[in-house]
Amino acid sequence: MTQALVIGAGPGGLMAAGELARAGLSVTIAEAKPSPARKFLMAGKSGLNLTKAEPLEQFLSQILGPKQLHDIVADFGPEAVQDWARGLGQEVLTGSSGRVFPKAMKASPLLRAWLAELGGMGVQMRRGWVWTAIRARDMVFATPGGEQALRPDVTVLALGGGSWAHLGSDGKWVSILAENGVACVPFQPSNMGFVVAWSDHMTRHFGVPIKPVRLHAGDTSVVGEFVISSKGVEGSAIYAVSRAMRDGAVLFVDLTPDRSVDDVATRLAKPRGKTSLTNHLRKTLKLDPAKIALLQEFARPLPTDPTALASVIKALPVLHHGPRPMDESISTAGGLPFGALDAGLMVKTLPGVFACGEMLDWDAPTGGYLLTTCLATGRHAGRAAAKWAQDQAAEART
């Protein structure tokens, strides 16, 4: 029987393993950690966001990558991901934002069903196997029992990006590919928080969500919320504009997204008598203490002219000192470039070695885009790898 090896047991790797097994190959998964899909499980602790229910064109517009990647995701997009989850016995629900979650709101039930399905197809899992080298045609591993070498007929790499190293995505595979003549694009943090050197008066607001707000950075604008932390700013709205911020765009916060600048100015122009400006902001605009503190942090001294103050409230510049360390980011951009891959995601200079998931050079925001793309590329690579192996076997028989 044709032997297939998948290195990495995250979503992309598990998806590839399933496709290989369905095609009739004998599949082994080599996972560096003691248990599979650790980042997947961590992401699902607060509600596993599988995908987003929106028109495909809109969905694809959020994924930064070549047409090849968009075509792969289009072939296994939001509807297909939902059907896949249902096929594993996990019903899904769609929130008001369009985000799709398992009804269980956790990753663990879905993962258990997924692993059971793979086990039923004969997929074997090797845990604690750390990929260390390619030696001739062998894939070499450091394992609990010492060095081991496997010589599969076909391999799918699903090694993750460069963040959350403690969960398995440490990016060390880049050096292995470099040793074999494959150059990768340097990693950059994505979907990350940013460092802010807060003054002391902000301490009591640490952990407080700022909502609702509209954030602007470059050409990106989003309504949502973010959190003031001791390290800076983070949260879903920050992650949505983090790509533009990473590339140098200034972050502006609209503290009253449901009001026009003229409306804000008119309200601020109301006589306030002996009322302090802080109380005036609270009474006329319903700004909470955290929003007022943020305003004072970045616009002190506050303008006294209502029109000028309204302009600041609608576009408050947030001064930061760059992204948090890459290992704290939810995902990374960079990795194996698509130019090094063929249409089936096989590494052109390493016949029989395919790649998928976050280790490829693409970028996307949170909100289901990341996971859907990992699943789609894993499915695509698994199918292409199975066909390649079958074609090779057929040629060997003739």
The CATH number of residue 141's host domain is 3.50.50.60
Residues in contact with 366: Cβ distance below 8 Å, sequence separation at least 6, in sequence order: 49, 191, 236, 239, 240, 330, 331
Residue 242 domain-assigned (yes or no)? yes
* 106 and 198 co-located in one domain: no
51-52 and 154-157 beta bridge pairing: unpaired
> Are 59 and 124 in the same domain?
yes
Say whether both 41 and 171 belong to one domain: yes
323 is a domain residue: no
398 residues of the chain, pLDDT tens digit each = 899 999 999 999 999 999 999 999 999 999 999 999 999 999 878 789 999 999 999 999 999 999 999 999 999 999 999 999 999 999 999 999 999 999 999 999 999 999 999 999 999 999 999 999 999 989 999 999 999 999 999 999 999 999 999 999 999 999 999 999 999 999 999 999 999 999 999 999 999 999 999 999 999 999 999 999 999 999 999 999 999 999 999 999 999 999 999 999 999 999 999 999 999 999 999 999 999 999 999 999 999 999 999 999 999 999 999 999 999 999 999 999 999 999 999 999 999 999 999 999 999 999 999 999 999 999 999 999 999 999 999 999 88
Same domain, 333 and 311: no
Domain identity same for 110 and 251 = no
Looking at 318, 352, 373, which one is the last position of a domain?
A: 318
For residues 36 and 139, state if they share a domain: yes
Residue 155 domain flag? yes
Residues 290 and 335 placed together within one structural domain of the fold: no
Instruction: Determine, yes or no, domain membership for 345.
Output: yes
Q: What percentage of the chain reaches a pLDDT higher than 90?
A: 96
Please give the tally of structural domains in the chain. 2
Query: 37 and 179 share a domain?
Result: yes
Write down which residue in 318, 349, 364 finishes a domain. Answer: 318
Do residues 27 and 128 share a domain? yes
Structural domain boundaries, residue 390: 3-189+328-397
Q: How many CA atoms lie within 13 A of 162 on its CB side?
A: 23
pLDDT in tens, 344-362: 999 999 999 999 999 999 9
Segment 153-208, tens digit of pLDDT: 999 999 999 999 999 999 999 999 999 999 999 999 999 999 999 999 999 999 99
- For residue range 32-67, list pLDDT tens digits in order: 999 999 999 998 787 899 999 999 999 999 999 999
Model pTM? Answer: 0.94
Alpha carbons 51 and 259: distance in angstroms, whole number: 31
Residue 312 lies in a domain: yes
288: in domain: yes
61 and 168 co-located in one domain:
yes
Encoded tokens for 186: 């340097």
Do residue 74 and residue 164 come from a single domain? yes
* Domain match, 258 and 182 both: no
Assigned domain for 249 exists: yes
DSSP string, 297-355: HHHPSPPSSHHHHHHHHHSEEE----BPPGGGSSEEEEEB-GGGB-TTSBBTTSTTEEE
* Domain annotation covers residue 173: yes
Amino acid sitting at position 355:
A
Q: State which of 276, 295, 318 marks the end of a domain.
A: 318
